[in-house]
Amino acid sequence: MPLALYALTAGAFGIGVTEFVIMGLLIDVSRDLGISIATAGLLISGYALGVVVGAPVLTAFSGRMKPRTTLLMLMVIFTIGNIACALAPTFEALMVARLVTALAHGTFFGVGSVVATGLVTEDRRASAIAVMFTGLTVANIAGVPFGTWLGQEYGWRMTFWAVAVVGVIAVAVLALFLPNEETSANKQEEAGTLSVLFSEPVVTSLAMTVLGFAAVFAVFTFIAPILTQISGFSEAAVSPILLLFGGGLIVGNLLGGRLADRNLDRALLLSLGALGVVLIAMEFLMGIQPVAAVMVGLLGAAGFATVAPLQLRILQKAEGVGQALASSLNIAAFNLGNAIGAWVGGLSIDHGPGLAHLPLVAAVFPAAGLLLAVIAMRREARRPAAEPAHV
Q: How confident is the model over 2-49, as pLDDT tens digits?
A: 778 888 888 888 888 888 788 778 778 888 999 887 677 778 778 888
> Residue 351 burial by CB count (10 A; 0-12/13-18/19+): exposed, middle or buried?
exposed
Please, which pLDDT band fits residue 186 given cuts at 50, 70 and 90? Answer: very low
Between CA 391 and CA 373 the distance in angstroms is 16
Q: Of 237 and 158, which is predicted with more confidence?
A: 158
Q: How many C-beta atoms surround the C-beta of residue 91 within 10 A?
A: 18
Predicted confidence (pLDDT) at residue 291 exceeds the cutoff of 90: yes
Between CA 68 and CA 33 the distance in angstroms is 38
Separation in Å, CA 295 to CA 61, 71, 137, 170, 214: 42, 37, 18, 34, 18
User: CA triplet 262, 265, 267: central angle to 5 degrees?
Assistant: 60
Q: Which of the residue ranges 137-151, 337-351, 353-367 has the most confident prediction, judged by mean pLDDT?
A: 353-367
Q: Of 322 and 244, which is predicted with more confidence?
A: 244
pTM of the predicted structure, to 2 decimals: 0.78
Domains of the chain: 1-192 (1.20.1250.20), 193-381 (1.20.1250.20)
Predicted confidence (pLDDT) at residue 310 exceeds the cutoff of 60: yes
Q: How confident is the model over 108-134, as pLDDT tens digits?
A: 888 888 888 888 888 788 888 888 888
Identify the pLDDT of residue 192.
44
Predicted confidence (pLDDT) at residue 332 exceeds the cutoff of 70: yes
Identify the pLDDT of residue 84.
95
Phi-psi region for residue 90, left (φ > 0), alpha (ψ -120 to 50) or beta?
A: beta
Between CA 325 and CA 186 the distance in angstroms is 11
Q: Give the helix/strand (H/E) hosting 6.
A: helix 3-20
Predicted confidence (pLDDT) at residue 185 exceeds the cutoff of 50: no
Between CA 56 and CA 50 the distance in angstroms is 11
Q: Which of the residue ranges 255-264, 310-319, 323-332 has the most confident prediction, judged by mean pLDDT?
A: 255-264
Identify the pLDDT of residue 76.
93
Show Cβ contacts of residue 23 under 8 Å, excluding neighbours closer than 6 positions: 44, 144
Identify the pLDDT of residue 387.
52
Cross-strand pairs, 273: none
Instruction: Work out the average pLDDT over 179-191.
Output: 52
Predicted confidence (pLDDT) at residue 278 exceeds the cutoff of 90: yes
Residue 209 near residue 339, CB atoms below 8 Å: no
Identify the pLDDT of residue 109.
82
Please, which pLDDT band fits residue 236 given cuts at 50, 70 and 90? Answer: confident
Q: Which of the residue ranges 34-38, 187-191, 243-247 has the most confident prediction, judged by mean pLDDT?
A: 243-247
Q: What is the mean pLDDT of the chain?
A: 84
Predicted confidence (pLDDT) at residue 262 exceeds the cutoff of 70: yes
Please, which pLDDT band fits residue 189 given cuts at 50, 70 and 90? Answer: very low
Q: Of 33 and 58, which is predicted with more confidence?
A: 33
Long-range contacts of 154-158 (CB under 8 A, 24+ apart): 155/28, 155/32, 156/25, 156/28, 156/29, 156/32, 157/85, 157/86, 157/87, 158/86
